[in-house]
Amino acid sequence: MKSRLKEVFFLFLLVSGCNLYAQEFEARTSPFRINLSAKDAIAPDVYLVYKNGGVINEDGRVEVEIRVFDVAGISQISINGTQKIEGDPVDSAKFAAEFMNGEEILVIARDNFGNVKERSIIIKGQAADLNSSVKTNRKYYALLIGVNEYSDRAIGSLNEPIKDATLLKNLLTSKYKFEEANITLLKNPTFEDFDVVFSSLSNKITPDDLLLIFYAGHGFFDERTNIGYWLPSDAVKANRAKWFRNSALVENIAAINSKHTFLIADACFSGAIFNTRSVNNNASTDISKMMRVSSRKALTSGKLSTVPDKSVFMKYLLKALDENQNMYLPSEDLYDTIRLAMKNNSDSHPAYGEIKNAGDEGGNFVFIRRE
Q: Are residues 63 and 157 in the same domain?
A: no
Buried/exposed 317-329: b ≥16 CB within 10 Å, e otherwise = bbebbeebebbbb
Task: Decide if 6 is inside a domain.
Answer: no
Domain assignment present for residue 33? The answer is no
Distance CA 93, CA 68 (A): 5
User: Containing domain of residue 81, as a range?
Assistant: 45-122
Please say which residue of 122, 145, 176 terminates a domain: 122
Q: What are the phi and psi torsion angles at 55 (to 5°)?
A: -70, 135
Q: Is residue 333 part of a domain?
A: yes
What does the pLDDT look like over 36-91, one tens digit per residue?
445 677 888 888 888 877 888 877 888 999 999 888 889 899 999 998 876 667 78
Looking at the structure, tell me whether residues 251 and 355 fall in a common domain: yes
Q: Are residues 53 and 181 in the same domain?
A: no
| Degrees, nearest 5: CA angle 303-329-219 | 25
Q: What is the pLDDT, as a whole number, of residue 295?
A: 94
What's the rounded mean pLDDT across residues 144-164?
Answer: 95
Strand ranges across the sheet with 244-245: 219-222, 227-230, 244-245
124 contacts 336 by C-beta, under 8 angstroms: yes
Contact 231, 243 (CB under 8 A): yes
- My answer on whether 181 and 310 are in the same domain is yes
Average pLDDT over residues 227-245: 94
Residues 73 and 175 in one domain: no
- Is 29 within the bounds of a domain? no
Give the CATH number of the domain where residue 137 resides: 3.40.50.1460
pLDDT above 50 for 20: no
What CATH code is carried by the domain that includes residue 64?
A: 2.60.40
Question: Is residue 200 domain-shared with residue 339, that is, in the same domain?
Answer: yes
Residue partners of 319: CB distance under 8 A and separation at least 6: 341
What is the domain count for the chain?
A: 2
Per DSSP, what are the bridge partners of residue 104? Answer: 122
Query: How do residues 173-191 score in pLDDT, each as one tens digit?
Result: 999 999 999 999 999 999 9
